[in-house]
Structure 1
Amino acid sequence: MNTDTSATARTDGGTTNSKTNPSDDRDRSGRDVRTLINYAALAVLVLFALVTAVQLYTAVGGVIDRWVAPDYRIFFRAAFNLVVLLLCVGGISLQLRRLD
């Protein structure tokens, strides 16, 4: 006599619920909320980066105009812009990795 329990589980007439684990829905909704929070954090980071970059560019431009000789101003501005850009790209890429 064969007492295969998997055969009886498959032939129960379809009365079992297709959702065998109700915690899957909670896990999925938790991940959805986490994803939305990460997207919101990314949007806030990008917005702050844009606003801060504009304000910082004007402030640093004033400092460069005042303290750096005219021949070297363009190099200081380029270096500053590069540093700000790299910081923003680093923060955005970190946030995008979290969304993966």
Structure 2
Amino acid sequence: MRIPEADSLARRLAEIDGVSMTDAVIGAFREILRARTQRETPTETARRILEKRGLSFAGNRKPVPPDAYHDLDHDLMGRERGCSLMPALSFR
């Protein structure tokens, strides 16, 4: 490989896996492509976690209103302190 860092990384991976550098690089590319094409959305992740526990989303559920995040932020940090745990989600 022409780039020293790429060469070093490929050699380390090949050594760890006990394969040739070519096979290590091909395997790494396959893993990366699989991971990037099979990413879950947050909703899919939540659904998967709920299903593992025998639960599911309510059919008539509605999105959480933005004010709920503001209230939760203040409940977690203490209203009197006026701190914001999630300043980007403060809607007031």
**Both proteins in one fold, TM over 0.5:** no
Structure with the bigger percentage of helix: 1
> Normalising to structure 1: TM-score of the pair?
0.26
Higher-Rg member (1/2):
1
